[in-house]
Amino acid sequence: MKKQVKAEAVGGDKVDKIIDKYQGDASLLIQVLLEIQRENHWLSKEALEKVSKKLGVPLNRIQHVATFYKAFSLVPKGRHEVQICLGTACHVRGGPRILDRIEEVLGIRAGETTTDMKFTLETVNCLGCCALGPVMVVDGKYHGKIAPTKAEEVLKSCD
């Protein structure tokens, strides 16, 4: 089950500071959004509205950018992002077993976030390191040739 987070909980003042840091330069929209995403783990409607107002960029253009790039999320994400590769090489080497085990351990399915906002689980089509398959990425750190039990240990090591 996905948990919704109110915009106030993700630091409206932080959003203001990030926008102010770029001195109202609308040409830096993507950088502003990336920094807000990095800080809050998602882009709330309130944050997008604030960016629109302070940068003078129409909200529909900001929403277009935020939905076009996969780096952005319009729903809350957990503190730890877990990606399981299901590309051909990883698939034949056990990627689906890794995914099944992680879903069981976290109690969520791919595309969901745990209710405590600790983990977001996603699948990807290819991570570009096929020789290491199956591959799991946690917070940008690659874990190759991983077995289901090792995948569970990696999750337990997250704070």
Q: Which option is the CATH number for 80-156: 3.40.30.10, 3.40.190.10, 3.30.230.10, 3.30.70.1710?
A: 3.40.30.10
Distance, CA of 141 to chain centre? 14
Instruction: Indicate whether 120 pLDDT > 60.
Output: yes
For the chain, which residues make up each domain, given as ranges? 7-68, 80-156
Q: 3-state DSSP call for residue 144? A: coil
Helical (H) or strand (E) element with 15:
helix 12-21
- How does residue 3 score in pLDDT terms, banded at 50, 70 and 90? very low
Rounded to 10°, the helix 59-68/45-55 angle is 130
Residues in the chain: 159
9-13, 87-91, 128-132: segment of lowest average pLDDT: 9-13
Query: How does pLDDT run across 38-80, given as a tens digit for each residue?
Result: 888 899 999 999 999 999 999 999 999 999 988 898 988 899 9
First to last CA, the chain: 21
C-alpha 101/C-alpha 104 separation (Å) is: 5
- Is residue 29 within 8 A of residue 57, CB to CB? The reply is yes
* Number of Cα atoms under 13 Å in the Cβ half of residue 117: 13
Q: What tokens appear for 88 in the block?
A: 């051909």
Rounded to two decimals, what is the model's pTM?
Answer: 0.73
- How does residue 2 score in pLDDT terms, banded at 50, 70 and 90? very low
**Mean predicted confidence (pLDDT) in 87-98:** 95
Instruction: Indicate whether 9 pLDDT > 50.
Output: no
User: For residue 12, what pLDDT is reported?
Assistant: 65
- Is residue 82 within 8 A of residue 76, CB to CB? The reply is no
- The mean predicted confidence, pLDDT, of the chain is 88
